[in-house]
Amino acid sequence: MRYALKLSFYLFVFVIITAISARLFAASSDPPLRRVMLTSSFGFDVRDKSGSMSTEFMLSVQPERAAPFIVQTKTAEPGSPQRISQATIWINNVKVIQTSDFDNGVSNVTRQIKLNTDNIIRAEVSGPINSGLWALFTGALDTEHGQVFRGDYWLTEDGQDATIKKFSAHPYVKAPFEVIVMRPWLNNRTQLYPPATIILNGQIILSPSDMQQKYPTILTREVDLLAENTLELQNPKGPRAHMMSIFFRGKRAPGFPGPASPSMPESKR
């Protein structure tokens, strides 16, 4: 009897461990989310005979965009075969659009939303085949910050160091300053993590371990800028034909030229 109980117990533990392992493996083998940038529109259309669709993707906010962030949604007018019967949109697990928003013949719904640098958008829509919901995510143009310098760098298969670049401070952009690094993507689904080192005025501001962290997808660090600055990029190793961008920006001072297209000092070679 004791042997049978022990055997049953071990078998139970084995089944539980196997189930957990399978679940973890399934989660880790899920395909990466499609990535899009802010100010993008989407059509959540019902194409399946089941009368429903669901999708999930990552929405990233570019450095030049800022609050307030808005989502605008639209479906067909009442009586149209293209009008949805149910619709829900979540942003980072927070429900922002729901079916009841379209009650009483409403076809257009606009909401102010909260966004981080990276955001998981999930949508579920039901209705007749070819019905759908259109959605547009937008943000205001950032008029608080001004760009000091931007450098674009191609990755190299051998990791050859990039050309050293020099740039001057902007007379109408003041501290606090920050560096923003946008790493390249493969087909908007897989981000590349080049083991690069970024050096500003002889000091490492982003190490290979920083560059290879998964989130956030857009890296930022507070930095100090001088009147004249030197930027070095070491070991930008990765697949050819993929580019990473490095920005430096700060707070706009009174008299800043713009507002949307500031004149920037030329980089020195």
Structure tokens belonging to residue 21: 């392992």
137 touches 61 (CB < 8 A): no
pLDDT digit string, tens, across residues 82-98: 999 999 999 999 999 99
Q: Where are the beta strands (DSSP E) in 80-209?
A: 86-91, 94-97, 108-113, 118-126, 132-141, 145-154, 165-168, 173-182, 185-186, 190-191, 197-200, 203-206
- Domains, the chain, with CATH or none: 34-141 (2.60.120), 145-252 (2.60.120)
Region 121-149 average pLDDT: 95
Tally the C-alpha atoms within 13 A of residue 230's C-alpha that lie toward its C-beta.
7
Asked if residue 194 has a cis previous peptide bond (ω within 30° of 0), the answer is no
pTM of the model: 0.76
169 touches 226 (CB < 8 A): yes
Say whether pLDDT at 20 is over 60: no
Query: Considering the chain, what percentage of its residues have pLDDT values greater than 70?
Result: 84
pLDDT digit string, tens, across residues 224-259: 999 999 999 999 999 988 999 999 999 999 988 865
Region 22-50 average pLDDT: 70
pLDDT on residue 264: 42
Say whether pLDDT at 219 is over 50: yes
Q: Distance between CA atoms of 262 and 239, rounded to whole angstroms?
A: 33
pLDDT on residue 118: 94
